[in-house]
Amino acid sequence: MINLMPDGEKQEIRAARTNVILARYIIVILCAFGFLILLLAGSYVVLTQTKEAAQRLVSSNSTKATADYSATKAQVDALSASLSQTKTILDQEVLYSNVLMNIGQQMPAGTVLQGVTLNAASFTGTPVIVKAYAKTTDDAVTLRQKFQSTPIFTNVNFDSVSDSGGIDDYPVSVSITLTITRAAAQ
């Protein structure tokens, strides 16, 4: 078949075919663009719903955590108050063994302790009587001086010093009145 059409019309037919192809491409591109817009809108809706659900969860957990926190805080405060009361009691505790060890450390050579009576009042400024035996009266004076020189005793005075009433090797009987400080229990 011979094509007898003029060249101008041939060009117009080719341009028309190109325009139809371009129109089809434009339609496909617009459909793809619309599809992408729908995907974005769907993603936005899903993300918005997820965000709202997460915010509801956070607010409910925050309320729950606040309630749990306040209950736990109340328990901690109660425990802290109990511990402070316990600390006050322990601060007032007197270890009589420490007091006796401190008295024993102050005893000079040539003296022995006969007896001492300790009670809670002994640490509030009430005078305590310490009875001891000494080899000589000089040892008894040394005992009084040793008690006076230490910070754990105050108001150290002789009640009596007697050359009779002692025990073997310690003939001198000594009675000393003194006040025990809180430092003696440390």
pLDDT tens by residue, 82-117: 888 877 766 666 677 777 888 888 888 889 888 888
Specify the amino acid at residue 5: M
For the ranges 84-88, 94-98, 125-129, 145-149, the maximum mean pLDDT occurs at 145-149
Q: Are residues 28 and 100 both part of a single domain?
A: no
Structural domain count, the chain: 2
Sign of CA dihedral 165, 166, 171, 174: negative
Q: Are residues 2 and 77 both part of a single domain?
A: yes
Give the rounded distance of the alpha carbon of 33 from its chain centre: 62
Kindly state the tokens that stand for 36: 């992408």
Q: Are residues 107 and 148 both part of a single domain?
A: yes
Q: Are residues 76 and 121 both part of a single domain?
A: no
Specify the amino acid at residue 117: T
Q: Are residues 76 and 31 both part of a single domain?
A: yes
Sign of CA dihedral 165, 171, 173, 179: negative
Percent share of the chain, pLDDT over 90? 26
Domain assignment of residue 1, given as a range: 1-93
Q: Are residues 57 and 139 both part of a single domain?
A: no
Q: Are residues 118 and 166 both part of a single domain?
A: yes
Assess whether pLDDT exceeds 60 at residue 1: no
Q: Are residues 52 and 103 both part of a single domain?
A: no
User: What does the pLDDT read at residue 51?
Assistant: 96
Q: For the CA atoms of 117, 118, 121, 122, what is the dihedral angle to 10 degrees? A: 90
Domain-terminating residue out of 69, 93, 117 = 93
